Structure 1
């Protein structure tokens, strides 16, 4: 379905991002993965994508705090693979603490990685998409782009910002064959979620098991974590021609969370 397309996915060395990259590759797209982690583990995932799906897979070490490196990542896709047809802004970090105790440096870093990096990547990718009259931009937002939770001020602010950025970019690119959408997952079992459980337990005075049951899954009427494969399948659909009329949307995949 996506044979010959090129997808750039930030934050894709694990979790949802890696699921995105593998799902696009399965549909025939060449991919650029990006993110942090052990070099050998990253190379294992990169080479696995090539061998399993018969596509080209490149790795960009671009730091999401550095606009120039983000632009270079997009340029890598364009020069080495021929285009940046699909851009998935997925890189993200989280910190849980009351506002009055929230570290200032951590606030700035979360806003930079979760929001500003998406802007810089879109800024770099849109000219090429406009020239080809085709493009797909998919931003990983969150249910927290639509509703709030306590102790996550920076993350919620950044994800609400992603919602606004998605809508604005959709309007600007609507006549160029480009769609811009955000996926809003509920709680997906990923390293990001797993790592925030101890901090949430401390902030709320709960055990970690109580956090899973009474905080995380309590928000989702299905009482189940969303899977990375489900999120990736939604991204593949949004990148398809069947989704060409879907733009500026917030696509919820949250087990019914926001319906309450």
Structure 2
């Protein structure tokens, strides 16, 4: 990502210890930004931090174990980041994984949990970091969303509905924050390689045991009619995030980039 120099800039990535979040942290560090990231799994967070410090010995890195669903955690995290790294101008809200359930088998508690996660994983970090971002030049917020926001799946009814709400929220925040010079955008991901898909591969039925990861995911892509013919890579989603988080997209706000390999069926 050498097309832009982010030296002197500070970025924050929530859910940054693995997958798309970690890939985003790496690209931001490569571009010269100071990066703070958080996650709930302390072991995974520590492993990610160790690896990043080895790869970027000169990098300014802050890793913190905290929960985006806690307003107190986010407020303390924002204060610490500003104190140790400086004023934040880029915030990446990287929400959690999806919930597989139909309308018939989704209980009230599951609806509440899913809607709360998808909304407050954006609301709390945004509320915590916005005061800093208002004081900087070229500030941007990026929300990692799913193609489910526009193309719902019946077996993921609660997640699809929540993702659609996030699509709307991004547009609303972009309008409200534009007088302060803070842009707000999102990406819509399709099927991206992750620990979730790896676990499904490891648990595949006996008749699929002789299939390699490439064969198994290729068949999955064919079944899902992904036009590029494979699952996406975390790095591919991260590149779209970095584009939206930086002045590379200085005239873009309130929009989403589709990163689904042609899985999208809407124009």
Q: Give the count of matched residue pairs.
A: 255
User: Which of 97, 112, 118 is the matching residue for 1:114?
Assistant: 118
2:54 maps to: 51
**Whole-Å separation in 1 of the counterparts to 2:98 and 2:222:** 15
Residues 253 and 178 from structure 1, CA distance in 2 versus in 1: closer, same or farther, beyond 3 angstroms?
same
> For structure 2, which runs of at least 5 residues remain unmatched after alignment?
none
**Whole-Å separation in 1 of the counterparts to 2:216 and 2:115:** 25
Q: Is the 8 A contact 1:12 1:35 kept in 2?
A: yes
> For structure 1, which runs of at least 5 residues remain unmatched after alignment?
202-206
TM-aligned CA deviation for residue 197 of structure 1: 7.6
**Whole-Å separation in 2 of the counterparts to 1:196 and 1:125:** 36
- Which 4+ residue blocks in structure 1 deviate beyond 6 angstroms? 196-199, 207-211
TM-aligned CA deviation for residue 10 of structure 1: 0.9
1:204 maps to: none
Using structure 1 for the length normalisation, give the TM-score. 0.87
**Whole-Å separation in 1 of the counterparts to 2:262 and 2:7:** 33
**Whole-Å separation in 2 of the counterparts to 1:105 and 1:211:** 34
**Residues 93-136 of structure 1, C-alpha deviations (whole Å, 9 max, x = no match):** 32212222124333322222222220121112112111224311
Say what the alpha-carbon RMSD is for the aligned residues. Answer: 2.7
Q: Is the 8 A contact 2:68 2:125 kept in 1?
A: no
User: Which of 175, 179, 183 is the matching residue for 2:187?
Assistant: 183
User: Which of 134, 140, 145 is the matching residue for 2:138?
Assistant: 134
TM-aligned CA deviation for residue 192 of structure 1: 3.5
Which has the higher mean CA deviation after the structures are superposed, 47-56 or 145-154? 47-56
